[in-house]
Amino acid sequence: MRKSMSALLIASLLVAMLAGCANKNNGNANPSASPGTNAESGEGAITLDLYSDRSWYSDWTGAGAKRITTKTGISFNVKKPVQDDGDGKDISLMIASNSLPDLMVVDKENKMLKQLIDGNYLYSMDELIDQYAPNLRKILDEQYGEELLTSFKEKDGKTYKLISGYQTKKYLEEAKANGGLAPVWLPQFVVRKDYYDEIGRPDTSTPDKFLDALQQMAKNHPDKIPYLGDKGQHSKDLGWFLPQFGIEDYYVNGDKVQHKLHNPQYKEMVKFANAMASKGLLTKESFVNTGEVTAQKVAAGSVIVSAQNSAAKNNTPPKDNPNTSFEMLTPFSTYMYPTIPKGWMALVIPKSNKNPERTIKLLEYAASKEGQADFFFGVQGTGKDDFKSLESGPHFYYDKSVPNNYFPEGKPSFTTGFNDELSKDWSGSWKQAGLGEPIMLVANWAVSNTVFWNPQDPDKLAYDKLMSPKMKFFPEFNFTIDSTSELGVIEAKINTLRADYLTKLVFAKSETEFDSIYSEMMGVADNIGLAKLESEYTKQYADNKAKLANQ
């Protein structure tokens, strides 16, 4: 018995020594050589607490999460609100109760991020990268774009937030190269093809030509609604009209930056809507209907032109004519869709983190091409016909026939079977496969979008050729106004004012009445403090221009 116990003791010691050596070797290894092998290299399993302020963020229980945990040895205990919490109420409570988690993935505009940074609650990404995961810097600079570690520095020169969804120069280059710069969701006017064919398919590239065509179709079909949108698209800012008139988020007037209310094109846009209303082509339905009600009316065939996007061509034909379809009208020649690159989600690491080394190494893996494939593409197969099930895939393969800058083995493409499942039930299939944003830590859209970009698809190339020149990026307009400050209150009041006056302007009975209402609105805006807000816009604009010039 003593011999058996001695043998067992010796064996136990040997195991412990070997485990110690394994741990030591793993700590000194280059993470980029095999970034996802923590579980296999002996570091052991660990569960980190993760908070997201987005209600859609997934619990760490799906098929994708399990695959990533098997590879990395790391799982998450996820806490999230029932409704999105951009105000940061949860974070405030965590600070007060000294219960910050190991990791946060929150909206970049969350109001408590600044307090977390100013209060010294967060690790700087620079510090953790340099100490534990130097290859992450290379991955971010070369695969995402250098802006992630330069454009989001704080006053102390450090970067505390790792931003997903920022349109870096690298992203824009990849999008242009793959016919994917212009997303399908850009606001468009969509017409019934049968009614458009009836009038000879006239040019609609100017406001007057659009009105003429719409009037002709409305005259031919007086029982139909000429134009219809919903309150989400129109009641606050005529959102579907703004890009048609090329209106920027702010108006640069000489050396001043003003609210877009001062932009002459903004006034012309509202006058155009007023002209539509005066001719009976735009009714109050577009300002009160929910999106669901409007969609039902369009599907029933009750609408001639609707506020949709280019994907409408794939919609089921209207019920009153199954032999027709929907199509996008030619945009106005003034069409311009402005984007202020701000990023989407921010990942931060509180100093309450129980294992910052493992956490930043996990991010090194998640940010790599291998990690992005695991998070966004799923299980790899060898060909398009490999699909077996939603949970086990294979969900994608590398298509050698389509070159890709990120993947020398070819463009990542979904297997036919997985594509079929997505077509039947996109959200359900995506969730069951456990892919994408609901479990993401950091996203490189130049990589994750490759499955949707296809530089060999003639329809996508034609759409991108038409629309990508109409997209414009304005990093100089990336203004920060604290919503709780005096300026933030002024800005909120101006936005409410604009919404309150919009229908009054659109349904004004005459041009004289329109001008009178517009002047009244601007007078109220001045009394609220618009000039003071515009002074801050001008200051931040100059600062941003100087900062961009030095990058």
Residue indicated by tokens 């003429």:
212
In a domain, 486, yes or no: yes
Q: Which of 445, 472, 499 is the last residue of a domain?
A: 472
The 3-state secondary structure of 4-28 reads HHHHHHHHHHHHHHHHHHHHHHHHH
In a domain, 20, yes or no: no
CA 224 to chain centroid, in Å, comes to 35
In the beta sheet, which residues pair with residue 189? 307
- Token pair, residue 499, equals 């919404």
In a domain, 16, yes or no: no
In a domain, 277, yes or no: yes
43/133 same-domain check: yes
User: In terms of DSSP bridges, do strands 46-52 and 74-79 run parallel, antiparallel, or are they unpaired?
Assistant: parallel
In a domain, 183, yes or no: no
Domain containing 239 equals: 188-340+476-550
335/362 same-domain check: no
CATH number at residue 151: 3.40.190.10
Taking the C-alpha atoms of residue 399 and residue 407, their distance in angstroms, rounded to an integer, is: 10
- For the chain, report the end-to-end CA distance as a whole number of angstroms: 73
288/248 same-domain check: yes
422/487 same-domain check: no
Taking the C-alpha atoms of residue 445 and residue 448, their distance in angstroms, rounded to an integer, is: 5
300/348 same-domain check: no
In a domain, 19, yes or no: no
Residues of the chain falling short of pLDDT 70: 1-42, 551
User: In terms of DSSP bridges, do strands 256-259 and 250-253 run parallel, antiparallel, or are they unpaired?
Assistant: antiparallel
403/495 same-domain check: no
pLDDT of residue 424: 87
- b/e map 145-182, b = 16+ CB within 10 Å: bebbbebbeeeeebbbbbbbbbbbebbbebbeebbbbb
pLDDT of residue 236: 83
What's the pTM?
A: 0.79
47/163 same-domain check: yes
326/199 same-domain check: yes
Q: For 202-243, how does the pLDDT look when each residue is reduced to its tens digit (9 = 90+)?
A: 999 999 999 999 999 999 999 999 999 999 899 888 999 999
In a domain, 545, yes or no: yes
Q: Which of 454, 472, 490 is the last residue of a domain?
A: 472
Domain count, the chain: 3
Q: Which of 431, 448, 472 is the last residue of a domain?
A: 472
Helices (H), 507-529: 511-528
User: In terms of DSSP bridges, do strands 337-339 and 326-328 run parallel, antiparallel, or are they unpaired?
Assistant: unpaired
Taking the C-alpha atoms of residue 57 and residue 60, their distance in angstroms, rounded to an integer, is: 9
250/130 same-domain check: no
Taking the C-alpha atoms of residue 451 and residue 406, their distance in angstroms, rounded to an integer, is: 12
Helices (H), 97-177: 113-118, 125-132, 134-139, 147-150, 169-177
CA neighbor of 533 nearest in space, from 262, 247, 344, 342? 262
Q: For 52-73, how does the pLDDT look when each residue is reduced to its tens digit (9 = 90+)?
A: 999 999 999 999 999 999 999 9
- Token pair, residue 51, equals 């908070």
107/194 same-domain check: no
481/333 same-domain check: yes
Distances (CA, A) of 345 to 104, 165, 342, 543: 10, 7, 9, 24
36/161 same-domain check: yes
User: In terms of DSSP bridges, do strands 337-339 and 345-348 run parallel, antiparallel, or are they unpaired?
Assistant: unpaired
pLDDT of residue 68: 96
Residue indicated by tokens 């989600």:
345
- DSSP class of residue 393? B
In a domain, 425, yes or no: yes
Taking the C-alpha atoms of residue 421 and residue 438, their distance in angstroms, rounded to an integer, is: 18
